[in-house]
């Protein structure tokens, strides 16, 4: 199976690296980028081929469109005529609908829209797939297999992708924001920054692992930490006083609205 990665930025190169680690034949993978030197650097690093977008598309059974949304139109103009009807096209560009892609590609091409997130860099990503009109079960399974090399994969109707973008696509930014605040609080309380960072990161990792492994609702786990009159419940009271929970909900709603605005433009 020939695979073309069109776009050698963070997500494109991350997926490429994962495919090679997962055992895909490097000689069957071609990477391209609008900056040819970047494509050659990534190709040399992973032992794959570098090529022009049209050339890569012509030989590929699976094409991963990993360019910025504003570059998608130009890329499709360049490669559409080279995509054969039995190919699978996976777009990881935020806000680009399957309908838009299908309108620019040959009739019958299978299209999947994917929303990964940056923890894919450490093979702990969350990717959500939405199938286009012509995507059958076999191609959908191929897309899931490919994205599973960088983490967990779920499939939803495309109408949910704005919410997915706001929750998991942008989600790492919210977590990093909270981690920054916790580290700064530790430093303010007199901890060395390296210690505050270690304590915060391990606490985050442990709490996430508890949610996954126990299967208990976060409310139950939170109450287990919050002894009456204790430090945790006092801190939570201050967070509630500052409407932190409501701020997170409204921020994620705003991110979903912005995703919809971006989608409407593509």
Give pairs for 178-185: CB < 8 Å, separation 24+. Answer: 179/204
Q: What is the mean pLDDT of residues 23-27?
A: 91
pLDDT band at 265 (very low <50, low <70, confident <90, very high): low
146-199: per-residue pLDDT in tens? 999 999 999 999 999 999 999 999 999 999 999 999 999 999 999 999 999 999
What radius of gyration, in Å, describes the C-alpha atoms of the chain?
21
Domain with CATH 1.10.3730.10 in the chain: 171-264
| Token pair of 201 as six digits | 């990161």
Taking the whole predicted model, whether its pTM rises above 0.75 is answered as yes
Confidence (pLDDT) at 261 = 86
Domain with CATH 3.40.50.720 in the chain: 3-158
156 CB-contact burial (10 Å; exposed 0-12 / middle 13-18 / buried 19+):
middle
Q: What is the mean pLDDT of residues 222-231?
A: 94
Could you tell me which CATH number the domain at 3-158 has? 3.40.50.720
Strand (E) or helix (H) holding 264: helix 244-264
Distance, CA of 219 to CA of 182 (rounded, Å): 20
| Token pair of 253 as six digits | 């709603």
| Token pair of 202 as six digits | 């391990």
Q: At the fourth CATH level, which superfamily is domain 171-264?
A: ProC C-terminal domain-like (1.10.3730.10)
| Token pair of 175 as six digits | 């977590």
Mean pLDDT of the chain: 94
Other C-beta atoms within 10 Å of 10: how many? 12
Q: Do 170 and 116 touch, CB atoms closer than 8 A?
A: no
β-strand partners of 112? 90, 131
DSSP letter at 84 equals -
β-strand partners of 128? 115, 154
Q: Which of 23, 36, 30 is nearest to 4 (CA)?
A: 30
pLDDT of residue 28 exceeding 70: yes
Q: What is the mean pLDDT of residues 220-239?
A: 95
């Amino acid at each position: 199976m020939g695979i073309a990665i069109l776009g050698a930025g963070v997500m494109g190169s991350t997926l490429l690296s994962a495919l090679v680690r997962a055992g895909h034949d490097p000689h069957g993978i071609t990477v391209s980028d609008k900056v040819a030197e970047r494509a050659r650097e990534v190709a040399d690093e992973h032992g794959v081929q570098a090529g022009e977008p049209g050339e890569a598309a012509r030989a590929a059974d699976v094409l991963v469109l990993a360019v910025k949304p504003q570059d998608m139109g130009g890329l499709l103009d360049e490669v559409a005529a080279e995509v054969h009807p039995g190919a699978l096209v996976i777009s990881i560009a935020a806000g680009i609908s399957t309908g838009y892609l299908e309108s620019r590609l040959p009739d019958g091409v299978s299209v999947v829209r994917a929303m990964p997130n940056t923890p894919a860099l450490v093979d702990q990503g969350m990717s959500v797939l939405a199938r286009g009109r012509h995507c059958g079960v076999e191609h959908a399974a191929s897309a899931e297999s490919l994205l599973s090399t960088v983490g967990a994969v779920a499939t939803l109707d495309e109408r949910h992708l704005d919410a997915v973008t706001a929750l998991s696509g942008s989600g790492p930014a919210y977590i990093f924001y909270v981690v920054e605040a916790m580290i700064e609080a530790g430093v303010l309380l007199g901890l060395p920054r390296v210690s505050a960072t270690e304590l915060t990161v391990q606490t985050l990792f442990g709490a996430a692992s508890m949610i996954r492994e126990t299967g208990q609702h976060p409310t139950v786990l939170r109450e287990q930490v919050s002894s009456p009159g204790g430090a945790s419940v006092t801190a939570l009271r201050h967070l509630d006083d500052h409407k932190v929970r409501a701020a997170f909900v409204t921020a994620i709603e705003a991110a979903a609205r912005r995703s919809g605005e971006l989608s409407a433009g593509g």
